[in-house]
């Protein structure tokens, strides 16, 4: 009897030991990643919110607690809303230019033509270049004297434009470059979504005598609608990440007309040393991204539960 009990407790002990072992394993395997993530992402985000409550130049050892003052000042400043508006332009550009353009590229890659492999590489090239390189290249594409863009304008009998001299033309010029660089990204997404459409759908449509246009509107478009919706919201997050292209093409982003949240925040922090104020901008950028993600997840959740 006693012996049996011993065996039992021993088994229990062994089980407990195994469980502790597993726990230890989990911890050891996860530790390096969690630590890195904690130190370089989670803590900085938290700290951004903390710093945003202070007035601080980033150098002096003392900082003054000002509560939500930075936020109230920020929300009343027209420069902030200008930058915010420009971010929204980038979002609109993604939805109404890049996504359709990416869709057309994906459709081309899906049509029955020769040389698709090469086309795929050619279409994708802009996305591979570093944004700094893209920006510098396009500065010369837009050059008032020797730039190909103005050359094209002249060919059609139009006047040369000082594209990057500031104002609306600069904004338009930069938005075109963003479209050039990021349309391939959407092309890839749509291509992936189109691969998932079962071939039979097209076959049966063909038997019913559907035209190419009908096939697109009744089969392709509905199937990739979820991708279109989620990439539209993804564009909000993408626009918040936009920085280098504006920074490079406007020489640091000093003009209001071409300021976006990223360059506005950068200048406040690393040129003017308003760390608290700048952190408030960063915090708002984070909150906007968070809200967009929650919306995506909700839409996704509802679609899955249908």
Partner 1 sequence: MKLLKKGSLYGLILILIIFTTYPFLYMIMTSFKDMREFFTNPFSLILTSFTMDQYLSVVEMGMTNYFVNSLIISILSVLIVVAIASLASYPLSRINFKFNRTIFILFLAGMMIPVHATLIPIFIMTSNFGLYDSLWALLGPYVAFSLPISIFIFTQFMQEIPKELEEAAQMDGAGHWTIFSKVLFPNMKPAISTIVIYNFVFIWNEFVFALILIQSRSSQTLPVGLQNFYGEFSVNVPGLMAALTLASLPVILVFIISQERVVKGLIGGAVKG
Q: Rule CB under 8 A: which of 18-57 touch partner 1? A: 22-23, 25-26, 29-30, 32-34, 36-37, 39-41, 43-45, 47-48, 51
CB of 104 to partner 1, least distance (A): 7
The residues near 295 (Cβ < 8 Å, ≥ 6 apart) are: 233
* Total binding residues toward partner 1, as defined by CB under 8 A: 86
The token duo for 9 is 């407790």
Spell out, one character per residue from 163 to 182, where the chain touches partner 1: x when CB under 8 A holds, - when not. -----------------x--
Binders of partner 1 among residues 264 to 293 (CB under 8 A) are 265-266, 269-270, 275, 278-279, 281-283, 285-286, 289-290, 292-293
CB under 8 A, 24+ apart: contacts of 248-252: 248/131, 248/132, 248/135, 248/136, 248/139, 249/135, 249/138, 249/139, 249/164, 249/170, 249/173, 249/174, 249/177, 250/164, 250/170, 250/174
Which of residues 130 and 204 has its CB atom nearest to partner 1 in the complex?
130
**Is 6 or 216 the residue whose CB approaches partner 1 more closely?**
216
The footprint of partner 1 on residues 210-229 (CB under 8 A) is: 227
Residues 61 to 100 in contact with partner 1, rule: CB under 8 A: none
* DSSP codes, 105-149: HHHHHHSS-S-HHHHHHHHHHHHHS-HHHHHHHHHHHT-TTT-HH
Give the x/- contact pattern for partner 1 in 121-140, rule: CB under 8 A. Answer: xxxxxx-xxxxxx--xxxxx
Distance from C-alpha of 23 to C-alpha of 25, rounded to nearest angstrom: 5
Closest residue by Cα to residue 182 from 241, 127, 245:
127
| Helix (DSSP H) and strand (DSSP E) numbers for the chain | 15, 2
Q: Which helix (H) or strand (E) holds 54?
A: strand 54-55
Smallest distance from partner 1 to CB 193, Å:
9
CB of 68 to partner 1, least distance (A): 18
168's CB contacts (< 8 A; 6+ apart) are 257
Q: Applying CB under 8 A, does 158 fall inside the site for partner 1?
A: no
Instruction: Compare residues 9 and 303 and give the one whose CB is closer to partner 1.
Output: 303
Single residue of 92, 162, 243, 255 touching partner 1 by CB under 8 A? 243
Least CB distance from residue 5 to partner 1, whole Å? Answer: 27
What is the x/- site pattern for partner 1, positions 104-123, by CB under 8 A? xx--x--x-x-----xxxxx
């Amino acid at each position: 009897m006693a012996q049996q009990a011993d065996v039992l407790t021993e088994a229990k002990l062994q089980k407990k030991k195994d469980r502790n072992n597993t726990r230890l394993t989990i911890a050891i395997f996860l530790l390096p990643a969690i630590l890195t993530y904690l130190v370089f992402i989670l803590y900085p985000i938290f700290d951004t919110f903390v710093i945003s409550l202070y007035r601080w130049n980033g150098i002096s050892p003392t900082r003054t607690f000002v509560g939500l003052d930075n936020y109230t000042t920020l929300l009343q400043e027209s420069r902030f809303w200008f930058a915010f508006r420009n971010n929204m332009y980038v979002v609109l550009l993604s939805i109404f230019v890049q996504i359709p353009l990416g869709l057309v590229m994906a459709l081309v890659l899906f049509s029955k033509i020769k040389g698709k492999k090469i086309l795929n590489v050619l279409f994708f090239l802009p996305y591979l270049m570093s944004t700094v390189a893209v920006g510098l290249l396009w500065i010369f594409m837009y050059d008032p004297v020797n730039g190909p863009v103005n050359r094209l304008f002249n060919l059609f009998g139009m006047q040369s434009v000082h594209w990057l001299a500031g104002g609306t033309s600069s904004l338009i010029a930069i938005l075109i470059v963003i479209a050039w660089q990021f349309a391939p990204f959407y092309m890839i997404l749509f291509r992936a979504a189109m691969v998932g459409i079962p071939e039979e759908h097209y076959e049966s449509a063909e038997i019913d005598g559907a035209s190419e246009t009908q096939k697109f509107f009744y089969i392709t478009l509905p199937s990739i609608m979820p991708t279109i919706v989620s990439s539209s919201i993804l564009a909000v997050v993408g626009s918040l990440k936009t920085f280098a292209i504006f920074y490079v093409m406007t020489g640091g982003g000093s003009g209001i007309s071409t300021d976006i949240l990223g360059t506005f925040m950068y200048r406040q922090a690393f040129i003017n040393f308003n760390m608290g104020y700048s952190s408030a901008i960063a915090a708002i950028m984070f909150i906007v991204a968070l809200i967009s993600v929650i919306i995506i997840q909700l839409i996704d959740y509802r679609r899955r539960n249908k």
